[in-house]
Amino acid sequence: MAHEVRGVVATGKGKPVGLETVLVPDPGPGEALVKVQACGVCHTDLHYREGGINDDFPFLLGHEAAGVVEAVGPDVTGVAPGDFVVLNWRAVCGSCRACLRGRPQYCFATHNATQKMTLADGTPLSPALGIGAFAEKTLVAAGQCTKVDPAASPAAAGLLGCGVMAGLGAAVNTGAVGRGDSVAVIGCGGVGNAAIAGARLAGASRIIAVDVDDRKLEWARGFGATDTVNSRESDPVEAIRDLTGGFGADVVIEAVGRPETYRQAFYARDLAGTVVLVGVPTPEMTLELPLLDVFGRGGSLKSSWYGDCLPSRDFPMLVDLFLQGRFDLDAFVTETIRLDQVEEAFAKMHRGEVLRSVVVL
């Protein structure tokens, strides 16, 4: 049986998204049908609409979501109907070389639902990041569902599904920020501010926020930045060094994804410090650095994949911290919107007016 629902679909490169009738199959083996309660509007969804990921149109957008499991297919044991879950786009396989080495956060064979959701005329849809949650219901692999405490609001909890986890994990998991460390974060949108919140949770002593927008820098102070630098007004490398005794930060997190900001991150770290790239570059971008500087400065240059998170470990922990009042997920929710307001939310995001617009169903 197919469930007829409303969903936000991108039909072609650069075209405005629209509401369409979507047919969602009953779950098959290893799959789960989820009634979506909330889904954040992430920049990755805009990348899909612009054809920046691939050209497998039409796309069913939305991936940063929370909801309730409505049904599961045969052989599913990890979740059951009625469970409140956060959706993730990296369902761990358990049998690839990373999983077998005890590093499931780097799983190389993550998977999605086997069956296709379609338009009313039978046209197969490509779900964004294997989720497609700008819809009243979606079909995912059961491993993409992470059960969390249902006391959490869906609008807040769903943000762990992508941007907040990416930023926080870049600080805590990839960057291994520790007590007393100095941290700089370049780019203070949703991901960058999540990295600032993660650095504060980890006990960093100084957290320096860098951006070109004073409004974003003000948001950064709310998430735990001790210092702010407007890089339109001063050299961020020199400013970070001045704030760290002339040395540079122990960990610098680049949340923009551009060669010029990566170079700033590289030179703004202390000797033997760590650079973490969590901003997503575009395919044509290249980076040039003097190899002697790469050698001479030592330390680590890392990329953070999904905050190097393990959803089964990290999502429930962060929801618990949220419910204890120790991690303010609500602060990332700038506004709640309807399904038919996603295109408008893309424009607000592009203008830097919001941290997150969240569709609430």
Q: Provide the CATH number for the domain around residue 189.
A: 3.40.50.720
Contacts 24+ apart (CB under 8 A), 282-287: 282/52, 282/257, 285/257, 285/258, 285/259, 286/259, 287/259, 287/262, 287/263
Average pLDDT (81-90) is 96
**Residue 181 and residue 156 in one domain:** no
Residues 114 and 181 both lie in one domain: no
What is the 8-class DSSP label of residue 329?
G
- The yes-or-no verdict on residue 283 having pLDDT over 90 is no
Tokens of 6: 């409303």
* Residue range of the domain that includes 249: 167-304
Q: What is the pTM of this model?
A: 0.95
48 and 116 share one domain? yes
- The verdict on residue 320 lying in a domain is no
d(CA 251, CA 112): 34
pLDDT in tens, 301-327: 999 999 999 999 999 999 999 999 999
Nearby residues of 5 by Cβ (< 8 Å), 6 or more positions away: 21, 22, 24, 135, 136, 137
Q: What is the token pair recorded at 341?
A: 């307001």
**H-run or E-run covering 207:** strand 206-211
Q: What is the chain's mean pLDDT, rounded?
A: 96
Backbone phi, psi, residue 318, to 5°: -70, -35
Tokens matching residue 349:
């995001």
What is the number of helices (H) and of strands (E) in the chain? 11, 18
Residues 68 and 132 in one domain: yes
Q: Which residue has the higher pLDDT, 318 or 91?
A: 318
% of the chain surpassing 90 pLDDT: 94
* Cβ atoms of residues 38 and 158 within 8 Å: yes
Residues 8 and 144 in one domain: yes
pLDDT at 227 over 90: yes
Q: Is residue 318 part of a domain?
A: no
> Is residue 99 predicted with pLDDT exceeding 90?
yes
**Virtual torsion, Cα 284, 285, 288, 291, nearest 10 deg:** -90
The predicted structure's pLDDT at residue 120: 96
Are 155 and 178 in the same domain?
A: no
Three-state SS annotation for 112-154: CCCCCCEECCCCECEEHHHCCCCECEEEEEHHHEEECCCCCCH
Q: Domain containing 131 — which CATH number? A: 3.90.180.10
Same domain, 188 and 72: no
pLDDT of residue 1: 80
335 and 265 within one domain: no
The position carrying tokens 């998170």 is 309
Q: Return phi, psi of residue 86, to 5°.
A: -100, 135
Whether residue 67 is contained in a domain is answered as yes
Q: Is residue 112 part of a domain?
A: yes
In a domain, 323, yes or no: no
pLDDT of residue 248 exceeding 90, the answer is: yes
Pair 174, 233 in one domain? yes
Is 310 among the domain residues?
no
Q: How many domains does the chain have?
A: 2
pLDDT at site 242: 98
The reply to whether 203 falls in a domain is: yes
Domain match, 171 and 131 both: no
Is residue 121 very low, low, confident or very high in pLDDT (cuts 50, 70, 90)?
A: very high
Cβ atoms 24, 116 nearer than 8 A:
no
> What are phi and psi for residue 70, nearest 5 degrees?
-100, -35
pLDDT band at 69 (very low <50, low <70, confident <90, very high): very high
Cis omega (within 30 of 0) for bond into 58: yes
Residue 40 scores a pLDDT above 90: yes
Asked whether residue 12 falls in the same domain as residue 138, the answer is yes
**Residues 41 and 183 grouped into a single domain:** no
Integer Cα distance of 349 and 361 in angstroms = 20
Judge whether 321 lies within some domain: no
Q: Is residue 193 helix, strand or coil? A: helix
Which of 270, 289, 304 is a domain's end point?
Answer: 304
- 74 sits in the region (left: phi over 0; alpha: psi -120 to 50; else beta) called beta
**Distances, alpha carbon 168 to alpha carbons 74, 173, 306, 316, 334, in Å:** 35, 8, 10, 14, 18
